[in-house]
Amino acid sequence: MRAFFLLFAVPLLAAAAPLPREVVPQAAVLEEQPDEGGRKVWNTRFFRIDSDMELPRNQLLRLAQVADTTAIAVKGYPLPLFAPPEGLRARIAIHGDPAEYVKAGGFHGSAGFYIARQSVVLVRGDFLMNPGDPSRALLPANYDEDILVHELVHLCMHRQNAGLPQWLVEGLAEYFACAHSGGGRFAFGDMDKSVRDHLRARLSPQDPKIPAIQISEICFVDSRGWLRLVESLPQEERYQAYAGSLLLAHCYLHGGTKRFEALEQFLRLPPRERKGGAFLPQDAAEKTQEGIVRYWQPRGLGVNFRPSK
Ligand SMILES: [Zn+2]
């Protein structure tokens, strides 16, 4: 593992394939379909949106644009990530009533939520109706849209998620959320800055040092273990698990050709041949973590990795 780890000590190497510099949204596509089961239905380029509430057309257009551009960004990324549900269009279901949203499986207090079993991203309609409304006082508007991007990345990777370690699933989703600057615009040109600013804004606006859950605790967990870990943390500390996963994913995407190629190979394995927890073994976690700390220090981001308890 030593040579692997040393990659951090040399300047950033070019990735195996060029990263897309940016993805600029095209005109939104929103085609009204006949109602189904009392729900309004629209098709976008990639998705089917259905809703139990009326929504202003401009909000729907923006949702369609964010969703389709997210799909285009995931598809254009030089890794085999894009694998949406097969057959039918990937579905985005809007629930006007927060209680209905939770009943459908949405995580309480979230703006959007991906449910793997149903191949759907649930979206809370009241968040779409009043973006940035301070009376909701949960999250700033751009956070809601970033959460939407995060959940849509899960949906775009639907058939690819199986067998991946959950830090990778979450880290990749959060990576695209970092690259998203609003309204479906993605820029990959300066991901170090995007990741740093994203983490600092969420975790420590006043202090260049952010807390994150240590790598040895996240590197082996599957999706259930991830939920258990996140739910064991106090609400205000939960994002620290995502911070760890994001930094780790970034390390594989931007930490040199060798890491990038190892990740690519792993992603090309058929899901049943993947041993998610073995991709980054726990005994290599500490070295990797030290490398991450050293990488970010001169780039304006201190990382204080910590145990979850
Ligand atoms: Zn997620």
CA distance 157 to 153: 6
Q: Provide the pLDDT confidence category of residue 221 given band limits of 50, 70 and 90.
A: very high
Cα(248) to centroid of ligand 1, in Å?
Answer: 15
Average pLDDT over all residues of the chain: 89
In one-letter notation, the amino acid at residue 19 is L
Cα(169) to centroid of ligand 1, in Å?
Answer: 7
CB 274 within 8 A of CB 266: yes
CA end-to-end span of the chain:
28
Count CB neighbours of 200 within 10 A.
18
Token representation of residue 261: 């190629």
Cα(138) to centroid of ligand 1, in Å?
Answer: 18
Neighbours of ion ligand 1 (CB under 5 A): 170, 173
Cα(9) to centroid of ligand 1, in Å?
Answer: 30
- For the whole model, what pTM was predicted? 0.90
Q: What would the pLDDT profile of 44-62 be if each residue is shown by its tens digit?
A: 999 999 999 998 898 899 9
Assign 236 to helix, strand or coil. helix
Cα(133) to centroid of ligand 1, in Å?
Answer: 24
Cα(173) to centroid of ligand 1, in Å?
Answer: 6
**pLDDT for 277:** 78
Largest CA distance in the chain: 59
Q: What would the pLDDT profile of 89-135 be if each residue is shown by its tens digit?
A: 899 999 999 999 999 999 877 788 999 999 999 999 887 776 555 55
Phi, psi dihedrals of residue 181, rounded to the nearest 5°:
-105, 5
Give the mean pLDDT of 266-271.
94
pLDDT exceeding 70 applies to what percent of the chain?
90
Q: Provide the pLDDT confidence category of residue 188 given band limits of 50, 70 and 90.
A: very high
Query: Cα dist. 11→7, 78, 210, 292 in Å?
Result: 8, 21, 23, 13
Q: What would the pLDDT profile of 236-249 be if each residue is shown by its tens digit?
A: 899 999 999 999 99
Q: Provide the pLDDT confidence category of residue 235 given band limits of 50, 70 and 90.
A: confident
Cα(170) to centroid of ligand 1, in Å?
Answer: 5
**pLDDT for 129:** 73
Residues 6+ positions from 206 with CB-CB distance below 8 Å: none
**pLDDT for 141:** 58
Is the alpha carbon torsion for 70, 266, 238, 116 positive or negative?
positive
